[in-house]
Amino acid sequence: MDTDLGALTVVFTEFYYWVTVVFMFLIHVGFCLYEVGVSREKNKINTLMKNAMLIPVITVAFFFFGWWLYFSMQNGPGVTGGLKSAPWSTPTSELMGTHFGGTPTQSTVSASDAATWARLNGVFWAAFLLFSWTAGSILSGAVIERIRSGAFWLLAVLVGSVTWVIGGAWGWSDSGWLVQKLGYHDAYASGVIHALAGGSALAILFHLGPRVGRFRADGTPRVMPAHNTWMIAIGMFMIFSGFWGFYAACNVPLLDVGGEHGTFFSATTIYLTPTTLSAITVNFLMSLAAGFIVGYWVSHGDAFWTFQGGLGGVITASAGNDLYHPYQSFMIAAVGVWCAYRLHFWVERKFKIDDAVGAVAIHGYCGTLGVILAGFLLWGYPSSLVEGYAPITPWGQAIGAVIMFFGLGFVPCFIVTWVLKRAGILRIPREVEIAGLDHAILRQETFDKTELEVAELSA
């Protein structure tokens, strides 16, 4: 902050991430609208509150331990080193509060930590937190209309403040062990957010079971009609709008990448490898376009799958959208959405998995496929500016995809959901589910309304 350029860089970076956070808030607004739209009339208030309340629950958990996990777990620990020291990220650090970067008062915080993190810690924390909400929201849609809110929030904390953060530390940081050892590349989080959250949702659905009446006696699924298509459409458009912020938040806006060749400022990915906002904007739009087209095509114009297709297209191409040509983004997105759509219905028929919003398909399958495909298209590219890190390879990406979907996604949620089920606190009782989750509220409202009408008539 003591030179004009230094001050400009810091203040611009601080403002840049602040803007991304505001944009990303739209993702959550969109998820709420979308989920409530998909739910039936009798369940809409419960659906809204289940999703909305993951905001405060994940936020405090992420403050207490999520942010620290991201920095401390980058070596595994035990693969490329031990737990990393990150005194700016602990819940009692002075750098988590208002700070000007001067002399620190805590012995664990160095003067250099204070100077580096004082202004950026909060906005970085918030940007990561919004990713955490997204991870939680991905689960939320899949399990609507039968999960208990308390159990869901616990699972949302597990994914939003623990498992995705560990995935991020391993594969979505400039020195994560997956990047160092396997050249894992996942620029816009196809794997660390979407595959991981999709795998988590699948594990929860396995124990939770389908909604009452979802499958006929012969095993064929019934359509459970959404109560408000417009809410779904507006919600999806908001998610797309927020996704711009997500893409921007995945970049470092202004960094000298010139090294020994002199100063050269550029935007970079989280791996500090160069890219441009221009390139990722075009690729975002081309993958969105491909997703929409294929979604519309395979579903014969179904509105729900067309919008979901757009989202799935972006998610599939995201792993390599920092480097792809727009045509490559388009083709990868098209392949991803086609595969996810087919897989969704195959899994639904075969295993009687009731994924109310297709979250496992659009996030899980598209994200996993996107990570794997990036290994082929970016084969041999350096994964980092640091010499000695493994390059990007198909096998590195495939191992990374399996770790994200199964290792950090499916397995932890499978265990915790099993425990919640055994404790009898996972699923809403059958009678209440049939009557509707808002049954008690609506009954009281009807009673009050009738009483009010009688009172008005007799007045």
Residue 6 in contact with other proteins, rule: CB under 8 A: no
Regarding 5 and contact with other proteins (CB under 8 A), the answer is: no
Q: Please tell me what DSSP assigns to residue 215.
A: B
Per the listing, tokens 């620029």 go with 187
Report the candidate in 54, 43, 199, 63 with the shortest Cα–Cα distance to residue 128: 63
Q: Which two tokens stand for residue 14?
A: 């601080």
Is 191:368 a contact under the CB 8 Å cutoff? yes
Three-state secondary-structure class, residue 163: helix
- Smallest gap from Cβ 279 to other proteins, in A, equals 38
Between 147 and 334, CB nearer to other proteins: 147
Considering only residues 331 through 350, tell me which ones interact with other proteins, judged by CB under 8 A: none
Tokens of 94: 């002075």
Retrieve residue 260's tokens: 């020994």
* Position among 6, 81, 82, 97 found at the interface with other proteins (CB under 8 A): 97
CB of 356 to other proteins, least distance (A): 20
Task: Please give the single-letter amino acid code of residue 389.
Answer: Y
Name every residue whose Cβ is closer than 8 Å to that of residue 387 and which is 6 or more positions away in sequence: none
Q: Does 2 bind other proteins (CB under 8 A)?
A: yes
Q: Which is nearer to other proteins, 63 or 215 (CB)?
A: 63
Q: What is the torsion angle, in degrees rounded to the nearest 10, for the CA atoms of residue 120, residue 123, residue 129 and residue 133?
A: -160
Alpha-helical regions (H) of 378-438 = 394-402, 411-422, 430-435
* Choices 132-140, 149-157, 217-225, 306-314; region in contact with other proteins by CB under 8 A: 149-157
Query: Measured from the CB of residue 211, what is the shortest distance to other proteins in angstroms?
Result: 16
Which span (102-110, 196-204, 242-250, 387-395) binds other proteins, by CB under 8 A? Answer: 102-110
Q: Pick from 44, 84, 146, 148 the residue near other proteins by CB under 8 A.
A: 148
How many Cα neighbours within 13 Å face the side chain of 266?
Answer: 17
Cα 351 vs. chain centroid, distance in angstroms? Answer: 25
If we measure between CA atoms, which residue out of 304, 293, 200, 285 comes closest to residue 247? 285
Determine if 351 is a binding residue for other proteins (CB under 8 A).
no
Among 256, 429, 450, 452, binds other proteins (CB under 8 A): 429
Q: Binding other proteins by CB under 8 A: which of 3, 4, 98, 218?
A: 98
DSSP string, 126-161: HHHHHHHHHHHHHHHHHTTTTB-HHHHHHHHHHIII
Site membership for other proteins, residue 229 (CB under 8 A): no
For residue 50 the two structure tokens come to 């289940």
Q: Which of 224, 255, 428, 442 binds other proteins (CB under 8 A)?
A: 428
Q: Is 194 in the site for other proteins (CB under 8 A)?
A: no
Of 82, 91, 213, 258, the one binding other proteins (CB under 8 A) is 91
Find the binder of other proteins among 15, 100, 264, 346 (CB under 8 A).
100
Residue 434 phi/psi, 5-degree rounding, is: -70, -40
* Segment interacting with other proteins (CB under 8 A) among 71-79, 248-256, 408-416, 421-429: 421-429
Check residue 77 for interaction with other proteins (CB under 8 A): no
Q: Which residues bind other proteins (CB under 8 A)?
A: 1-2, 57, 60-61, 64, 91-94, 97-105, 114, 148-150, 153-154, 425, 428-429, 431-432, 435, 439-440
